[in-house]
Chains A and B, each alone.
Chain A
Amino acid sequence: MHHIIHTRKLKKHYLVGRERVAALAGVDLEIARGEVCCIIGQSGSGKSTLLNMLAGLEPPSAGHVAIAGRKISAMDEDQLALFRQENLGFIFQSYNLLPQLTATENVALPLSFAGIGKTQRLEIARRELARVGMGKRLDHLPREMSGGQQQRVGIARAFVARPKVVFADEPTGNLDTATTRQVLRHMLDCSEGHAITLVMVTHEPELARCGDRIITLSDGKVAENIVQDEKTRDRNRRLLFGETDD
């Protein structure tokens, strides 16, 4: 399997007053193409910082990040924007839909950044929304939708341009248990359906156990890096989603 994400000695520290606080203290990672990778850890363990750096939202203090063979830690803002447009998707904890745009328009947004014409991108967006079960909410504004619905729009938006990697930062953090399962289901389906690598940060171990790889961070270091075989993974998923073996 090819590694789509690669980090070497990834470090990040912040200045808090005069003190230097290390958020990441040297992380070496390889994530394979098509994998569902869950990053888990206590709050303050550095999992969000790691995700931000993997997605190129924050430059590392030291070390490297490469995605799909491109060293994003060395890119400038312009290159990063273009790289994200072509290769990355992002799912936010607080959905972050643009309030003035309808569900369809929100999903079509990344396509418009890529210069796809209006008719075409709205058509693609509608199809993508139907895939996450939002086919009846196409023209709703974010404020007219529940949290779970908004996050499904967010998922459609992250996957619509068929990126190589989708990052999800606590995607179910604001949702109740039932909705959480539903949303997670859609994410996993989208990832598997298009062989898109999914990197998800969560603090719920039972969600993390649905992944192919579970990385546990502690004090800015990788404490555990487990790859589950498909059997274990699928059993965990069935457990979570309450399905029976048949």
Chain B
Amino acid sequence: MHLPDLFLFSVDNLRRRKGRTMLTIIGVLVGVCAIVVMVSLGVAVNNSTDEMLKNWGDLTRIEVLSEGAQQDTPKLDETMVEQFRSIPGVRVATPVMEPQDVSATIVGGPNNRFEAPGQLIGLEPGAIGPLGYALLAGSSKLTGNPDANRIPVLVGAQAPFGFRDTQKSQNSPDAQKYPQYDDEYMNILNLPRYDEKGTLLNPEEFFFDILHTKLFYRVVVGRDEGSGEDVYKEYELVPVGMISGGANDFAINNGFVMNIENLRKLQADVRKAAGGSAGGGLERGSDGNGGGSIAVVSSRGGSGGGGASSSTGGGGSSSGRGSAGSYSRVLVKVEHVEAMDEVERSIKAEGYQIDSITETRRQMQGQVAQTQMMLGGLAAVSLFVAALNIMNTMTMAITERRREIGIMKVLGCELKNIRRMFLIEAGAIGLIGGVAGVLVSVLLSLLLNNLPALLALLGLGAGGVDVGSFFGLGGLGQTGTAAAISVIQAWLIAFALLFAAAVGLFSGILPARKAVRISSLEAIRHE
């Protein structure tokens, strides 16, 4: 018997019992709909978290923190950084030095009139490219330090907005240039733009062209006993290029990145200038001994003394810090997202706390998955009930058609064809229910995604909801739309249809077996 004939026969039989078939199909519809909508909600949540996290920064970057480490964890020092580099999948690892100067600023412009609370960041120059920071202008070459007082730096793209005009009142709106944000993702629209020759294309947005202006790192090294004023020391910063750390790397975007070696030398110099005696007692905010109230070096222990990382160049006194030569933060860049788990596990195994977007994502996805599992379980129950329903319908159909089945057997219908007939019938109920379920789900999804708009349309008032952002966000096939509540992708539709058909077929197995067992004598039994 040919398959099309079997199909026709099965569909014919379904049509004969329209009412019952419809009810059974509705059962499947509800089950499929429940599952599809549940999954679509989960997909939408995951999509929007992903979108959000993508906005936060690089998925393959891990921040290793010395804070919060366990007691017996080894120091986060050069040896450990070296060890991180040897973990398979790690592309690059660099310590991060960030002096937390309370009394240092970066100044520039005519008469150094503009001032920013700029943050110096020391990185290994070889790591800047691999870390994925985008070079927006100039070069990223930070090596070499021809003159101890002229240090090459990479300027963060948002750093220009940090400058304040010291000749204007602090409260004046003209004292600062402000970034403009777009609505959706808070991207800054007026970042500096340079052409290939290095010319600033939007100078009107800034006080000065930061890449072509002398900048100085001005740090307090003491206080004049007589006048009571601070004594500064200035170091010239030579901007060689501009980088962006991605949307959410605040430190890089607003900071001044230099070779970690240069930062060490600079700090040593500052300490020397501040007077050797004070240089030892590097405690943040200490204003104890005399005028040497110098809070030059960060509380984060990243000072590393004078020269090489392992040395305690500051003299014996600096050995008082337990964290000599250790870093507060190390950045690790991993080759692929797939390698993240393994690398993170290796680093955690050493006892360190880590911070990565992947870690955050995992936690968020974990929560979503949990909720989804629960709701999915409920949906599965309803589909299970639908399956029982199909079984019941088929069993009834077969009981009613005993005689017919007997006749077909007498007329030479092979058992496999009888089995197929009923399997197709059950499968068709599943598939039709699946199609209907998917259609209803898509409608529901559209409804959910446009709910505020619809409410507004009905005059029910979607108080304060940004209706505009909900428009044009049909759930079907749309991804990456932050506002979509429910996202039904092609794979979900395909899966739902296949699954519904499979459930139908599966529910048909027992009834079909029953049909096959019916005796051909049923045909000649007289009523």
Contact = CB atoms under 8 A, between A and B. Distances in A.
Nearest to A114: B412
Nearest to B404: A98
Interface in A98-122: 98, 100, 109-110, 112-115, 117-118
Contacts of A161: 412
B521 A115 contact: no
Contact of A81 (B2, B403, B407, B414): B414
A113 B413 contact: yes
Contact of B413 (A85, A88, A93, A96): A85
Contacts of B411: 84-85, 90, 109-110, 113, 157
Nearest to A108: B5
Given A100-B13, A113-B417, A117-B2, A92 B412 contact: no
Contacts of A82: 412, 414
A94 B406 CA distance: 13
B231 to A, nearest CB: 103
Given A98-B404, A100-B13, A81 B413 contact: yes
A110 B13 CA distance: 18
Contacts of A55: 410
Given A100-B13, A113-B417, A169-B524, A118 B5 contact: yes
Contacts of B12: 100
Contacts of A98: 404, 407-408
A112 B5 contact: yes
A88 B412 contact: yes
A66 to B, nearest CB: 18
Contacts, number: 75
Nearest to A83: B412
Interface string B232-249: 000000000000000000
B5 A81 contact: no
Given A115-B1, A117-B2, A86 B526 contact: no
A21 B440 CA distance: 61
B421 to A, nearest CB: 11
Contacts of A117: 2
Interface in A145-180: 157, 161, 169
A118 B1 CA distance: 11
Contacts of B61: none
Contacts of B2: 112, 115, 117
Given A100-B13, A112-B1, A81 B524 contact: no
Contacts of A109: 408, 411
A58 B410 contact: no
Contact of A90 (B13, B410, B414, B519): B410
A57 B412 CA distance: 11
A81 B409 contact: yes
B412 A96 contact: no
Contact of A113 (B1, B4, B16, B520): B1
B409 to A, nearest CB: 6
Interface string B516-527: 000111011011
A77 B415 CA distance: 8
Interface of A: 48, 52, 55, 57-58, 77-78, 81-82, 84-86, 88, 90, 92-94, 96, 98, 100, 109-110, 112-115, 117-118, 157, 161, 169
Given A100-B16, A110-B412, A113-B413, 11 more contacts: A55-B410, A57-B523, A81-B409, A85-B413, A85-B414, A90-B410, A96-B523, A109-B411, A110-B411, A113-B412, A113-B414
Closest 8 CB pairs of A and B: A85-B412, A84-B412, A81-B414, A113-B413, A96-B407, A57-B520, A110-B411, A112-B5
Interface of B: 1-2, 4-5, 12-13, 16, 403-404, 407-417, 519-521, 523-524, 526-527
7 contacts: A78-B414, A81-B415, A84-B409, A84-B412, A93-B524, A114-B412, A157-B411
